[in-house]
A and B are shown apart, each in its own frame.
Chain A
């Protein structure tokens, strides 16, 4: 297996995140998911609203207390990080970029203070001069002008704000960035700019991304591997190309078939694959099974043969 050579920076095992536990309105936002993220890769997490993809991101960055399961980051169980020093280090190593560039920047703070907040908390700059210099560097890295540093967020467009959010995340030199729908609020032409910027930064700063999105075409473009979530469960994990060309799970196939393509002839001949979600609730025990190398699907024992057959057909 290829994956064994690569270092697993994140290990999620049997993660469960329930809300309102024990009450009539209990929600199983995440229901027993396991996956790994390798160092230096981009792992795309896709799903529709309510699938649990955002909750997954938040659990990983330790914003929630998981109901059950384990999250290892860099070999350490994140629930067991207790000392203040280690907690600070964890928050430095893992950063987040948010969906809404209007809500995620404090409107009363200047850009330089937004970007430098992490620098201040982690004491990364020796003096004001070094701080200002670092902010300028960061702004330039994300394609903004250093003159922008004394302005307020409202003076920027959506795409520029998202760049500020990226600069803020980079300020503490993280290893791992969770990008939760970072481009869905942006216009098409600006989306491409931000995605290309994220790709560049990944190579330059050796970053690992968890890229959460519902826009499947962009996810495919940026991700090395993709996980598909539905109703709190991870249904399929595979390399990005593979999952698009040979989806194994019916839900994945249905989701991909629903993506509009900017090609009128394709659209005229579109066949949407229907999906019946009731099979997920048939009560069978399911686990992640590696059907072909690096291609996992959530299957019950009696479904494995069916998926293997599908995978074999795909090879022909």
Chain B
């Protein structure tokens, strides 16, 4: 088994507002293994960004961690002082934010911005830092890097800026890279290039990635494992194949079903809107929008039921006493792919065993 470099256990985060406490993160647990990409999927307000901000110690002032722990190499990040976090941020755990316009300093030449983490964290002399910064600028695919090294952010296009942001985040070879909607602001062709670049760099630098996005298409291409969040909780997690081809939670069904495929005639829409986390509903937060909801869904929060050693979902439908339901057609189509995959795997194993 690979080593878990990060473990989040039973994290609870509230935001204090005038209207009351918003329970933004409710009992969230996950882990991240070395070298893997974990995608956290969810709609706005589901808590995906708050989760990652808590990893970086960048929560807003009105946020309070009510419980849980974030273990990085066994040490709880929540117990670190601001000074200690400064030593980790940008060096061991780095972030790429959504908007490359606002995450770069408009008044500083990009070469210096890339070199800054090296001087700060690794105490490189300026010349050495600049030399390494130039190397990484070439690595992220900025053409004519020597000449552009002294340009300002506004002289670059959106895609190039995001490449520069990636260069900054990777210059210290972080163990964990948190990418919070890194391509949402970009055009699809540029998005494809940036995603390709991230994969390439990941294998070179051997960094683990936590990829936050609402785009299931991007997840399918990037993730090794997927966690689906809804209303402050993770409701399903598994390998990318398990979540896309063998989804169990009705919310995951709804998400996959509401994406138009090439030959979809009618588009399914999940009815209603997400619940207000000032006063989260009792039971399964998705129950009110769930076509498959049972009485117990409105009364009691479902625990995680294991589907496989790597796959679990928090839905009462997986309880042994639950009635069998027929999932939407699109999900049945995906189940078929999953069983075909399983068969191929079994055959491959048999062939291996037989030599």
Contacts and interface: CB of A to CB of B under 8 A. Distances in A.
Contact of A221 (B187, B218, B264, B273): B264
A190 B44 CA distance: 11
Interface string A253-277: 0110011111111111010100100
Contacts of B241: 264
How would you classify the secondary structure of chain B's contact residues: helix, strand, loop or mixed? Answer: helix
Interface in B217-231: 217-221
Nearest to B158: A49
B322 interface: no
B220 A264 contact: yes
Contacts of B205: none
Contacts of B255: 188-189
B269 A192 contact: yes
B259 A187 contact: no
Interface string A154-183: 000111100000000000000000000000
A260 B260 contact: no
Contacts of A193: 269-271
B189 A48 contact: yes
A217 B245 CA distance: 20
Nearest to B191: A258
A221 B260 contact: yes
Contacts of B270: 189, 192-193
A217 B44 contact: no
Contact of A258 (B158, B192, B254, B262): B192
A214 interface: yes
B191 to A, nearest CB: 7
Interface in A186-234: 187-193, 195-196, 214, 216-218, 220-221
B268 interface: yes
B115 to A, nearest CB: 30
Nearest to A48: B187
Contacts of B244: 262-264
Given A214-B187, A262-B219, A195 B267 contact: yes
A18 interface: no
Contacts of B264: 221
B164 interface: no
A267 B220 contact: yes
Contacts of B256: 262
A244 interface: yes
A26 B232 CA distance: 49
A265 B195 CA distance: 17
Contacts of A264: 220-221, 240-241, 244-245
A254 B220 contact: no
Contacts of A259: 188, 217
A175 to B, nearest CB: 25
A263 B220 contact: yes
A220 B240 contact: no
Given A188-B214, A189-B254, A262 B259 contact: yes
A64 to B, nearest CB: 23
Contacts of A216: 188
Contacts of B258: 188-189, 191-192
A62 B129 CA distance: 54
Contacts of A191: 258
B216 interface: yes
A235 to B, nearest CB: 14
B43 interface: yes
A260 B220 CA distance: 8
A195 B261 CA distance: 14
A49 B215 CA distance: 19
Contact of B262 (A49, A157, A214, A244): A244
B220 A266 contact: yes
Given A217-B259, A254-B189, A261 B217 contact: yes
B78 interface: no
A261 B216 CA distance: 7
A260 B211 CA distance: 15
A275 to B, nearest CB: 7
Greatest chain B CB density within 10 A among A160, A255, A262 is at A262
Interface of A: 48-49, 157-160, 187-193, 195-196, 214, 216-218, 220-221, 244-245, 254-255, 258-268, 270, 272, 275
Given A254-B189, A260-B221, 16 more contacts: A49-B187, A188-B43, A188-B216, A189-B43, A189-B258, A192-B269, A192-B270, A214-B187, A218-B260, A221-B267, A244-B262, A262-B217, A262-B259, A264-B221, A264-B241, A272-B192
Closest A-B pairs by Cβ, 3 of them: A260-B217, A267-B221, A192-B269
12 contacts: A157-B273, A158-B44, A189-B269, A192-B258, A221-B264, A254-B189, A260-B195, A261-B261, A262-B216, A262-B256, A264-B221, A267-B221
